[in-house]
Amino acid sequence: MKNIGFIGLGIMGKPMAKNLLKAGYQLIVYDINAEPVKELFEAGAREGTSSQDVASQSEVIITMLPNSPEVREVVLGEKGIIYGVKPGTVLIDMSSITPLTSKELSEKLQQKGVAMLDAPVSGGEPKAIEGTLAIMAGGPKETFDMAKDILEVMGASVTRVGEIGSGNITKLANQIIVALNIAAMGEAMVLATKAGVDPEKVYQAIRGGLAGSTVLDAKMPLVLEGNFKPGFRIELHIKDLMNALDTARELNVPDILSSQVMEIMQSLKADGKAKDDHGGIIQYYEKLAKVEVRKE
C-alpha cells in the first residue's frame, strides 16, 4: 500500500483525504490551517511540517488547493514539494487551475524524475464526502494507470482525457456548462414564480424532460428551501470562470455566455454573497424581479 501525501485540507480536500484513510492508505497530511490537520491526525494520518516534508515521505502526492498561485507556491515555493520529492514519485494535482500552470509545473517536476497528473474534480462537497466525484485527468497513460486505484477511492467516474493540462481544460468546460445551467434555471424559475405558478411544480414537471439535468436536481431543491449554504462557493466559481475566460482568449474562442454569467456572479459578490453556494446565482434574478423562488 503506497504512502500518500495530501496537501490542502479544505472543504473538498478534507473529505477526500478521509476517504483515502478509510480505504487503508497510509497518509501524511499538511495544510496551513491547523484544525483540519488535527482532525486527520485523529483519524489516523501523520502530520507533515511542510510541503517539502510531505514530499520527502511520499510515493504519491495529492494537492487540492484554491488556484494556480497556491499550487505553484506549494510545488515550487520555499519548502515546496520540489525540494523534498524523490525520483519516481507521482504528483496528482486535483486543484482547478489553468492548463498552462499544469504544463509549467509538470515540466519542472520532470527534471526531478517526477511524473504529474492534473486531475480536477466535479461534484462539490457532498460528492467529496461520498467519494463519488467525477475526476477528469490529464497526463501520461502509464501514470494514470498507476494512480487509477487511488483516484477511484475518491471518485465514481475517473477518466483520462489526454496529456497534461487536458484535465483542467475539461474542468473549465464543465464549469462553463454548470454555471450556464444554474443561470438558466434561475431565469426560468423566477419567470414562473413571477407569473404565479408554483416553482416546485414547475420543477417536477420539467425535470424528466429535455430540460432536466444533474444541475437542476442538485440545486433546485436547495433553492426551494432558501438554502444557499455552500457546497461550492460563488467566489470559487468566479475563479474557475476567470480561468476559462483567460484560456478562451488565449485560444481566440468566443466566450459570450460565460462572460454574461461572470458579470452576474460579480454582481452577487458585490452584494456580499460571494460565499453563498453557486445555486445562489438565482438571487440575482430574484432581486431584479422582486420575487423569491421558494416552496409554497
Residues 42 and 150 in one domain: yes
Residues 229 and 160 in one domain: no
Residues 137 and 188 in one domain: no
Residues 179 and 98 in one domain: no
Q: Is residue 130 part of a domain?
A: yes
**In the predicted model, is pLDDT for residue 119 greater than 80?**
yes
What confidence score (pLDDT) does residue 82 get? 98
What confidence score (pLDDT) does residue 176 get? 98
Of the residues 14, 18, 127, 171, which is catalytic?
171
- Reading the block at residue 3, the C-alpha cell is 504512502
Q: Is residue 296 part of a domain?
A: no
Backbone angle region of 252, left / alpha / beta, with phi > 0 → left and psi within -120 to 50 → alpha: left
Q: Output phi, psi for 28, to 5 deg.
A: -120, 125
Residues 232 and 183 in one domain: yes
Q: Where does a domain end: 164, 183, 199?
A: 164
Residues 217 and 276 in one domain: yes
Domain limits at 70? 3-164
Pairing between β-strand 3-7 and β-strand 90-93 as defined by DSSP bridges: unpaired
What confidence score (pLDDT) does residue 2 get? 79
Alpha-carbon span 149 to 185, nearest angstrom:
36
Residues 37 and 124 in one domain: yes
CATH code assigned at 254:
1.10.1040.10
Q: What is the mean pLDDT of residues 172-193?
A: 98
Residues 64 and 111 in one domain: yes
E strands of the chain, at which residues? 3-7, 26-30, 46-47, 60-63, 90-93, 115-118, 121-122, 133-138, 155-162
Share of residues in the chain with pLDDT > 90 (%): 96
Model confidence band, residue 121 (pLDDT cutoffs 50, 70, 90): very high
Residues 200 and 256 in one domain: yes
How many structural domains are present in the chain? 2
What confidence score (pLDDT) does residue 132 get? 98
How confident is the prediction for the chain on average, in pLDDT?
97
**In the predicted model, is pLDDT for residue 72 greater than 80?**
yes
What confidence score (pLDDT) does residue 231 get? 82
Residues 255 and 173 in one domain: yes
Element housing 263 (H / E): helix 256-270
Q: What is the mean pLDDT of residues 71-84?
A: 98
Q: Where does a domain end: 137, 164, 191?
A: 164
Q: Cell 472543504 maps to which residue?
A: 11
40: number of Cβ within 10 Å:
25
What confidence score (pLDDT) does residue 124 get? 86
Active site residue 103: no
Q: Is residue 282 part of a domain?
A: yes
Backbone angle region of 88, left / alpha / beta, with phi > 0 → left and psi within -120 to 50 → alpha: left
Residues 20 and 117 in one domain: yes
CATH code assigned at 112:
3.40.50.720
**In the predicted model, is pLDDT for residue 21 greater than 90?**
yes
What confidence score (pLDDT) does residue 228 get? 97
**In the predicted model, is pLDDT for residue 1 greater than 80?**
no
Residues 143 and 225 in one domain: no
Q: Is residue 273 part of a domain?
A: yes
Query: What dihedral do alpha carbons 158, 91, 174, 17 form, nearest 10°?
Result: 70
- Reading the block at residue 96, the C-alpha cell is 482547478
- Reading the block at residue 18, the C-alpha cell is 478521509
Collapsed DSSP state (helix, strand, coil) of residue 9: coil
CA–chain centroid gap for 176, Å, is: 13
**In the predicted model, is pLDDT for residue 198 greater than 80?**
yes
Q: Where does a domain end: 124, 141, 164?
A: 164
Secondary structure (H, E, C), 76-103: HCCCCHHHCCCCCCEEEECCCCCHHHHH
Q: Is residue 226 part of a domain?
A: yes
Could you give the C-alpha distances from 168 to 53, 71, 248, in angstroms and in order?
27, 13, 13
